[in-house]
Structure 1
Amino acid sequence: MKHATVALSGVALLALAGAALPGPDGGGAAASAPATKADATTATTAATTIATTTATTSAPRRPVLLTGEVEALDSQTITVPPSNSAPLTLRNFVAEGTHVKPGDVVLRIETDGAANIDRLETELEQARARAEKETATLEVAAVEAEKALVTAQAALAKAKVEAALPKTQISVLDYDRHQAALGSTTRDLAIKRDADASAREAVARRREDGKLEVQKLRINLAFQLAQLAQSEVRATRDGVVVHGYSPWMGQRFEEGSSAWPGNAAGTVLGNGEMAVTAWALEADRPYLSEGQSVSLRFDALPATATAAVTGKVKSITSAPEARASWGLGRYFRIKIALPHGHGLPLVAGMSALVEPYAAKASPPAPAPGNEALTVEGEIASRGALPVSPPSIPHIWQYKLAQIAPEGTMVEAGQQIAQFESNDVTTRLIAQQGTLNEKLRALDKLKLDQTEADRAGELAVAEAHSNADKADRKATMPKELIRRVDYDKLVIERGEKNQLAKLALTQHQAQMRARHAERAGLQAEIAQQQTQIAALAKGQAALKVVAPRRGLVVYRTGFDGQKFSAGSQVWVGLTVATLADPERLYIAANVPEAQSSRVRVGQAARVTIPGSNQTLNARVVGLGRAFHGKSTAQPTIVRDVELQFDGATSGLKPGAAVQAVLVADAARPAERKR
């Protein structure tokens, strides 16, 4: 623990200096008359000199001890990806100690991104169909406007033919009627041209709007695909995966654990250069500088002369930061470089004692003896499957209606838990009703469109028939009919041929509109069926059955209490695990200061409290990093895995045990080997 040094402020020193200056009567300044300006200046100078002398004299003598930890410079923090829901479940998390290469997936969270992508793809198809339908409908209207324009042009041409008749050859009444018709058809043609231009502009506008809508949905779909790609974390370097601890549950993150976005789920530790990060209290900052040499001792290594090395301060942060786990103080972060070729077996997370070379380093503590070491742990299973509620879109809370008693051995296919959610059944019924309505609407639409297709074909046939009739009339000899009538027949032939072509174009546009309308409704039906399938699958998954034989072990919730029947469970939480009884081991941890006395292969005697059973075991693995024991116990520990030597019948995961590690001195036979 660090102790703060209380220093006198400049005001206090000035007061002391003023009190020490003699007055005119030989007494103190307090008993004298008001001091002159020269006296004040003299007092200030003396106070400054005293303060400077005091600081200069006391600074080198002040002991400074810093706490730090070892960090791997080429390590990668495995951060839980962002998500729209929290907490979430770690569905895929590679086992601790796994060696990974760049590009390997180390963590994947459960996300509803796939459902969102299906929904967005359906919305994209609906937007395309809607834009195509509305554009085709406007094209039909544009064809109608063009047909009206053709008819108006033909009417104007006929009116011009009649209006060209001399006034002397026809009656005055007919002449006036022809002139009035010419003016009327001229005005009508102008109106029809404006209507045709407006219809074409409406088609172009709707086509551009449809492109913008589709592009917007494509961008949103690309964003969702990017988010889905972010739901997994890939290794960026070669290294070994080390699992972290939950900051709010105090439990190790494993596959199936619950986590919040942004949590550090673990680390990919490299095998490269190590460094030490230390923290200095604000009061200790004046005694440190960049490039300064410091003494480094490591709690996990034996306290011998070789355990102390000399490092060099590489950088100091410009502003202090809070460390809530250490109290209300503020600390500067200091990076310390280790000397090349130090030869120490450093592991990430080791605690380090940092002492600047301002004072003579204290002698090392005596090395620990060879007495037996006792560690505490619990029985765990290497094959534990999570038991959690299903992930159903827009369903966030469930009720745990039933769960097998803790410690029950269940067989494959046997029910473990039963979750309930009234929203699932309600939404399933509502979605099924909506689907039935849309199916009936689709059947009716198909019948209506079939009739519309027949009517369109009849309209096209009628237009072609009118064009053929006009062609036959226009083939009559000029000599047999009046020239005015002949010119009208020629104009009518051109009009009917254009109307026949426009009728075909209109029929094709109507067919596209009907096809787009049917495609949009079919897309809605497909989306509805997808939602119903997801709800049905989720409803079936509310009943959790055992995929294999295992032992039920309860988990704890946010309140620290174990889940039980009737508990409210948020999506993403694991209520229990199904432990494999054939793959049991002991998960223990040893304090950092005693970790040097543990080695792989070391024998141990395991005692299970509450019973007279004592089993033999051996150390089979050590943690790849040092870490805090829990949020309530910030002691730095290292994980130790012990494997039973004999049968494990009767043992249950979660049971607390004590393991006595046999010291090397008690095993002379192994030391000879």
Structure 2
Amino acid sequence: MMRILVAFRPVIAALTPSKGARNILLASSMAWVLTGCGDAAPSALTQTAERGDLVHRVTAAGEIVSAEATRLSLQPGNLHTIDWVIEDGSEVKMGDVVAKLNGEIASFQYNTNKLNVERESSRGVADSSDFAKRDVEIDYDLQVVEDEVQLIETFSSDLDTVYSRIEQIDNGRDLAYTQARGNYLEWDRDSNGERRSSKERLTQIQVERFERDANRFQALLAQTEIRAPHDGVVKLLRSSRSGEPVTSGSVEWGGTAIAEMPDLSQLVGEVHVLAGDSAGIVVGTPVDLQLDAYPEATLTGTVTSIAQLAAQRENRRGKWFTIKVGLDTIPAEIVGRINLSFQASFNVANASDVLQIPLTALQQENGLNIAYVNNGGARERRELQLGLRTLSRVEVISGLNEGDEVIILP
């Protein structure tokens, strides 16, 4: 008998998945050993399907936050230096200054673009003058060509008594060359006009671009103060560049939200749950909340939303789901208050007198939940319909009867 117990000790240790199931498996193993002291011993561990309470809770820390908040963002299109920002958690009235921005960069960019506008405008005037000068030169050359053609036609003759045959050929060549030169000058005049129009259009585009940038930076100069859009409390956010809370001297990209003003009339709970502990938590799961600052105040609520993806948290290992909890009632102690910490207990499973078996007795076959029952030493396959489950046990709705011995999978 002692040899049997020693032989099964490593088996029991290897098949103990958690503290919650340790006693049950140990008792089952001992029962198996004791019932196997005869000539024939069963070939696998079994446990009896029995009725009982099935309770599973997930606990996590959270805090009271606002369901909605107005974000205060920097104007896009520039890098901003914050000269001054209000203290975190300060109460403000509509129109109060929340932050002041340094306008040196915007001022430099504005002046630079204004100079570019003047430079491009001056360059356009100079280019226009050059094209006009070229038009005058072409007109003068065309007049010369016209005079030369007239002279050639006036003094040329096809009579052999006036010019020799060679002189007549030279006169014809001079006339053809002069006419061709005139055609080229007319083409050059048309081409100069097209080049002038293209250059003027390009200059206009450049001037409009610099003027647009100058107007944008002028608008930034007029908005170096960020003011509260309504009454409320200002909560400073973390810098997207440094990861630290926004402070005086922070340098932020345009469009970055530096603070938000939560709506204190709409409070919810925000809880971060490790991805490995989140199984079973769905929208509608009941939650009990215990405030750290007010232990006597117990809140109840339900899960209203769960983040689609688990994400890293600062100074925390693992990945976490962000879960929002809608509160059934808000005690007077926390009305209009946020950032109050609490401990949340998610009631994932809570059923009484249900038939249940260990999860280690289940397996999947073609999408079906299967368990094998020890039926007089033979393995009998059963298809199960399951209900609630915890980390170690699962409710069986159909497929088993109370007292059935399910085989624990190796």
Which category describes the TM-score, using the shorter chain as reference length?
A: 0.5 to 0.7
Q: Is the 1:159–1:185 Cα contact (8 Å) retained in structure 2?
A: no
Q: Is the 1:92–1:106 Cα contact (8 Å) retained in structure 2?
A: yes
Aligned residue number for residue 147 of structure 2: 154
Give matches, 1:469-484, under 5 Å: none
Q: Distance in 2 between matches of 1:193 and 1:252?
A: 71
Residue 106 (structure 1) aligned with residue 95 (structure 2): no
Q: Is the 2:287–2:302 Cα contact (8 Å) retained in structure 1?
A: yes
Aligned residue number for residue 163 of structure 2: 172
Residue 202 of structure 2 aligns to which amino acid in structure 1?
A: D
Q: Distance in 1 between matches of 2:194 and 2:239?
A: 61
CA 1:92/1:288 → structure 2, altered by over 3 Å: closer, same or farther?
closer
CA 1:7/1:274 → structure 2, altered by over 3 Å: closer, same or farther?
same
Q: Distance in 1 between matches of 2:41 and 2:113?
A: 91
Residue 320 of structure 1 aligns to which amino acid in structure 2?
A: A
Flag structure 1 segments of 5+ consecutive residues without an equivalent: 30-42, 361-673
Q: Distance in 2 between matches of 1:72 and 1:90?
A: 28
Aligned residue number for residue 323 of structure 1: 313
Residue 320 of structure 2 aligns to which amino acid in structure 1?
A: Y
What is the TM-score when the length of structure 2 is the normalising length?
0.61
Aligned residue number for residue 390 of structure 2: none
Q: CA deviation at 1:344?
A: 4.1
Q: Is the 1:238–1:270 Cα contact (8 Å) retained in structure 2?
A: no
Residue 116 of structure 1 aligns to which amino acid in structure 2?
A: Q
- 1:290 corresponds, among 265, 270, 283, to 283
Give matches, 1:483-498, under 5 Å: none
Aligned residue number for residue 345 of structure 2: 355
Aligned residue number for residue 68 of structure 1: 62
Q: Distance in 2 between matches of 1:148 and 1:65?
A: 95
Q: CA deviation at 1:147?
A: 1.7
Q: Deviations over 1:96-141 (max 9, x none)?
A: 322125xx65323214111111011101210121122123212212
- Secondary structure at the counterpart of residue 172 of structure 1: coil
- Secondary structure at the counterpart of residue 187 of structure 1: helix
Q: CA deviation at 1:274?
A: 1.0
Residue 202 of structure 1 aligns to which amino acid in structure 2?
A: R
Residue 110 of structure 1 aligns to which amino acid in structure 2?
A: N
What is the TM-score when the length of structure 1 is the normalising length?
0.40
Q: Deviations over 1:165-198 (max 9, x none)?
A: 6849x82359837555433422332232233233
Aligned residue number for residue 261 of structure 1: 252
Q: CA deviation at 1:85?
A: 6.1
Q: CA deviation at 1:238?
A: 4.0
Q: Distance in 2 between matches of 1:209 and 1:314?
A: 57
Q: Distance in 2 between matches of 1:166 and 1:244?
A: 98
Q: Distance in 2 between matches of 1:151 and 1:57?
A: 117
Residue 335 (structure 1) aligned with residue 314 (structure 2): no
Q: Is the 1:74–1:272 Cα contact (8 Å) retained in structure 2?
A: no
Residue 345 (structure 1) aligned with residue 338 (structure 2): no
Residue 279 (structure 1) aligned with residue 278 (structure 2): no
Q: Distance in 2 between matches of 1:286 and 1:107?
A: 43
Q: Is the 2:110–2:213 Cα contact (8 Å) retained in structure 1?
A: no
- Secondary structure at the counterpart of residue 258 of structure 1: coil
Higher relative contact order (CA 8 A, sep 6+): 2
Residue 147 of structure 1 aligns to which amino acid in structure 2?
A: Y
Give matches, 1:550-561, under 5 Å: none
Q: Is the 2:64–2:268 Cα contact (8 Å) retained in structure 1?
A: yes
CA 1:57/1:120 → structure 2, altered by over 3 Å: closer, same or farther?
farther
Q: Distance in 2 between matches of 1:270 and 1:28?
A: 66
Q: Deviations over 1:468-513 (max 9, x none)?
A: xxxxxxxxxxxxxxxxxxxxxxxxxxxxxxxxxxxxxxxxxxxxxx
Aligned residue number for residue 97 of structure 1: 91
Q: CA deviation at 1:222?
A: 4.9
Aligned residue number for residue 495 of structure 1: none
Residue 64 of structure 1 aligns to which amino acid in structure 2?
A: V
Residue 203 of structure 1 aligns to which amino acid in structure 2?
A: R
CA 1:184/1:143 → structure 2, altered by over 3 Å: closer, same or farther?
same
- 1:209 corresponds, among 202, 205, 215, to 202
CA 1:61/1:271 → structure 2, altered by over 3 Å: closer, same or farther?
closer
Q: Is the 2:110–2:215 Cα contact (8 Å) retained in structure 1?
A: no
Q: Deviations over 1:446-469 (max 9, x none)?
A: xxxxxxxxxxxxxxxxxxxxxxxx
Q: Is the 2:82–2:99 Cα contact (8 Å) retained in structure 1?
A: no
Q: Distance in 2 between matches of 1:295 and 1:319?
A: 24
Q: Distance in 1 between matches of 2:198 and 2:343?
A: 73
Aligned residue number for residue 133 of structure 1: 126
Q: CA deviation at 1:337?
A: 0.9
Q: Distance in 2 between matches of 1:204 and 1:246?
A: 49
Residue 193 of structure 1 aligns to which amino acid in structure 2?
A: E
CA 1:7/1:208 → structure 2, altered by over 3 Å: closer, same or farther?
farther
Q: Is the 1:100–1:241 Cα contact (8 Å) retained in structure 2?
A: no
- 1:186 corresponds, among 165, 172, 179, to 179
CA 1:323/1:7 → structure 2, altered by over 3 Å: closer, same or farther?
farther
Q: Distance in 2 between matches of 1:349 and 1:250?
A: 19
Q: Deviations over 1:425-456 (max 9, x none)?
A: xxxxxxxxxxxxxxxxxxxxxxxxxxxxxxxx
CA 1:251/1:199 → structure 2, altered by over 3 Å: closer, same or farther?
closer
CA 1:82/1:196 → structure 2, altered by over 3 Å: closer, same or farther?
closer
State the percentage of identical aligned residues: 18
CA 1:289/1:166 → structure 2, altered by over 3 Å: closer, same or farther?
closer
Q: Distance in 2 between matches of 1:166 and 1:77?
A: 94
Q: Deviations over 1:186-218 (max 9, x none)?
A: 233223223323333332332233233324434
Q: Distance in 2 between matches of 1:156 and 1:118?
A: 57
Q: Distance in 2 between matches of 1:249 and 1:114?
A: 25
Alignment RMSD (CA, Å): 4.4
Give matches, 1:110-129, under 5 Å: 110-111=102-103, 112-129=105-122
Residue 69 of structure 1 aligns to which amino acid in structure 2?
A: E
Aligned residue number for residue 367 of structure 2: none
Give matches, 1:528-543, under 5 Å: none
Residue 342 of structure 2 aligns to which amino acid in structure 1?
A: A
